[in-house]
Every structure is written in C-alpha cells, then in structure tokens.
Homo-oligomer: A and B are copies of this chain.
Amino acid sequence: MFNPERFRVVLVNTSHPGNIGSVARAMANMGMTNLALVDPVQFPSERANAMAAGADTILEQAQVFPELADAVIGCQRVYGVSARLRSIAWTQLDPRQLSEEIYSAPQDEQIALVFGRERSGLTNEELDICEALVHIPVDEMHRSLNLAAAVMVVLYELRMSLYDAAPNPKDIGRKNASDKASSEQLQFFFDRWDATAKSVDFYKGNAVTVMRKIRRLFYKADLTDEEVKILLGVLTALDEELDKEQ
C-alpha cells in the first residue's frame, strides 16, 4: 500500500528554481513530502516558492547534498527516471512496472526516485548508482519532458496503488527491508570489486563498460545485506592472498 514516507524525490543539478517549486507542488498533490536536492543551481529561491503554490513546507524541509551518492544514503532501492531509452546496460521499467515492483517488495524499504538535469538528464556515473531506470513512455518525436511533469507521472503511478486492489506481495525470500542491501553498501562493494579486478589487470582497457555490466548483473540479483557481506568476504580473502605475493 501507498506510504508516502517511504519515498524520496531526488533532483540532480536542477537549472531552473521554478522547476524545483513545480516539483514540490506535484509532490504535495500526490501526498509526498521528502525532497532531496543534489547540487541545485539556485536554491532557496523566490521563484521556487512562487511555483510551489502552497507546498512551501516541502521546500523548507528539502535537504541539499553535494553528490547523488549522499542523497540516497539509507535507501534500499534507487531508480533513475529518464525519457530517453538507454542502450543495454540498465534494467528498464515503465512507471507502472516500477509501481508493481515496489509494491511486491517488502513494504518498509526506502525508495529514491532520481530525476536528472532538465537538458541532459543523468550522467552514466549517476546512473551507476541506480538499480534500474524508469522510462516514461513518451512519443519518440517529442521526448523533452518538463521536470515536474515527469515527477507527476511517476508519483501518480505510485499513488494509484491506493486505488488498486491491494497487490499480493510476492514471496521473494526476504522478510523485511533491512534484508535488502542498501545503496551505499552496494556502491562500497562495487568499489571494492573494481579495485580487486584492477589489481589483477582484468579489464584490459574496457573498465567502464565492463564494470557497468557487472553492476547490472548484481543489481538484477537484488542482493541482500547478507549476500553483500559474503561477496565482500570473498574479496577480502582474495586481497589478502594477492597482497602476500607483493
């Protein structure tokens, strides 16, 4: 069921403060309150307050972060929203599939919904932090979505679960959110993996592309906290053995 406290709307490097205000208004319409701003070009701003149309509290309580990784700390699921269809590397969901995925997962998981820059969206490095991409099904000839419109569509889909027949949570072998690895745990694991792979000269020049495929592979596995610890244990054992020889 819809619990607005689970959701964090994250805006990355927004250019126009008016758009931040419009997003706050859309959030208020859909009953959401948690807004995080990553490196906003201008904030706070009178223009943002004017566009918020009564959702000022959301702006007042918005948290500002220097980097996306900081803004998603504590979240078990991080989704990047895009109007562009990306090539292969990321799992892609439409907003309805996102909603189904979230509501069939444990209901105490914290969710970050990440929206990129007005013109250029999210960088590949920012997308690396996202376990999947949410693609809003726009007309291919007119893909330029207003930021608040994109937020509205995604939040509307999530809110509609209030009005659907309650979905039957699938048994995916996890009892509660604390079982799912957090975003920061995963990023730590990826960094460790990357360092070990480099230390044995695995990549041979394709580091970024190959590491992206490896991220995707592990995102697909929907890793638990315990599983990440096992994998980190393997890396530690490997690194200790590799260090001996130097």
Contacts and interface: CB of A to CB of B under 8 A. Distances in A.
Nearest to A210: B230
A97 B28 CA distance: 23
Contact of A237 (B54, B137, B169, B197): B197
Contact of A214 (B53, B54, B173, B230): B230
B240 A172 contact: no
A231 B215 CA distance: 12
Given A94-B160, A152-B153, A169-B93, A222 B220 contact: yes
A28 B142 contact: yes
B22 A237 contact: no
A188 interface: no
Interface stretch (A36-44, A66-74, A198-206): A198-206
Nearest to A139: B31
B170 A234 contact: no
Contact of A221 (B152, B166, B221): B221
B138 A30 contact: yes
Interface string A118-146: 00000000000000100011110111111
Nearest to A4: B139
For this chain, the copies found in one complex come to: 2
Contacts of A31: 138-139, 142
A221 B215 CA distance: 11
Contact of A233 (B142, B169, B202): B202
A159 interface: yes
A227 interface: yes
Contacts of A138: 29-31
A230 B241 CA distance: 22
Contacts of A91: 169-170, 172-173
A50 interface: no
A231 B197 CA distance: 11
B149 A200 contact: no
Contacts of A163: 94, 96, 137
A162 interface: yes
B241 A200 contact: yes
A112 interface: no
13 contacts: A26-B146, A29-B143, A29-B144, A30-B139, A88-B173, A94-B166, A96-B160, A96-B163, A96-B166, A137-B159, A201-B241, A210-B230, A217-B223
